[in-house]
């Protein structure tokens, strides 16, 4: 069985990422990831498009481990990408790593 190898995509220096402010990382022409440094120091990454109307999640407000879509205030968990009820849906989440103070997405 062949193992899948993930590609590291550079995000930035950990110390230079502002807390609770999203950063957009472009993966492909039409694929973006929103990366957030939480106040507890965790780095979370999710698809940069709200499942409701496509709001840019990197422009949303972060509270705890959630981001609120800037268009219609949908609350999305940064841990698993699930939208909080009564709304519904989810976005893809991405694994992140920190190597020598540098943050990477694993895709």
> What residue has token string 């009564």?
86
Total domain count for the chain? 1
Within-domain flag for 31: yes
Choice between 1 and 58, residue whose per-residue pLDDT is larger: 58
Q: How far is CA 18 from the centre of its chain?
A: 14
Provide the whole-model pTM.
0.92
- Give the separation between CA 83 and CA 89, rounded to whole angstroms: 5
Within-domain flag for 93: yes
Cβ proximity of 92 and 47 under 8 Å: yes
- Tens digit of pLDDT for each residue in 30-48? 899 999 999 999 999 999 9
- Tens digit of pLDDT for each residue in 3-33? 678 899 999 999 999 999 999 999 988 899 9
CATH number at residue 13: 2.102.10.10
Tell me the residue range of the domain where 63 lies. 8-106
Within-domain flag for 1: no
């Amino acid at each position: 069985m062949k193992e899948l190898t993930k590609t590291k995509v550079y995000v930035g220096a950990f110390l230079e990422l502002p807390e609770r402010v999203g950063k957009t990382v472009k993966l492909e022409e039409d694929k973006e990831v929103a990366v957030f440094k939480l106040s507890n120091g965790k780095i979370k990454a999710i698809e940069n498009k709200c499942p409701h109307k496509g709001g840019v999640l990197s422009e949303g407000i972060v509270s705890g481990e959630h981001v609120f879509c800037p268009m219609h205030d949908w609350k999305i968990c940064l841990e698993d990408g699930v939208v909080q009820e009564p709304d519904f849906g989810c976005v893809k989440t991405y694994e992140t790593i920190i190597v020598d103070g540098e943050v990477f997405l694993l895709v």
